[in-house]
Amino acid sequence: MASIVCLVEECVYNHRSECQADNIEVRSSGCRRVEDADHTACSTFESAK
């Protein structure tokens, strides 16, 4: 998988700002129409705690 920089340090897949998951799924964050990055969210996220 391509290198993915991610700054979500609370995710179990995050290691030194790089995603270590085999793959990820990104969806809209709940809005009807996605218009910018703030409207997207990684649904593969799992809390490290």
Shortest gap between Cβ of 34 and ligand SF4 (angstroms)? Answer: 17
Shortest gap between Cβ of 32 and ligand SF4 (angstroms)? Answer: 23
Q: Which residues contact 32 (CB under 8 A, 6 or more apart)?
A: none
Residue ranges binding ligand SF4 (CB under 6 A): 4, 6, 8, 11, 13-14, 19, 21, 24, 42, 44-45
- The token duo for 40 is 């997207």
Rounded CA-CA distance 30/47 in Å is 20
Shortest gap between Cβ of 36 and ligand SF4 (angstroms)? Answer: 18
Partners of 15 in the β-ladder: 18
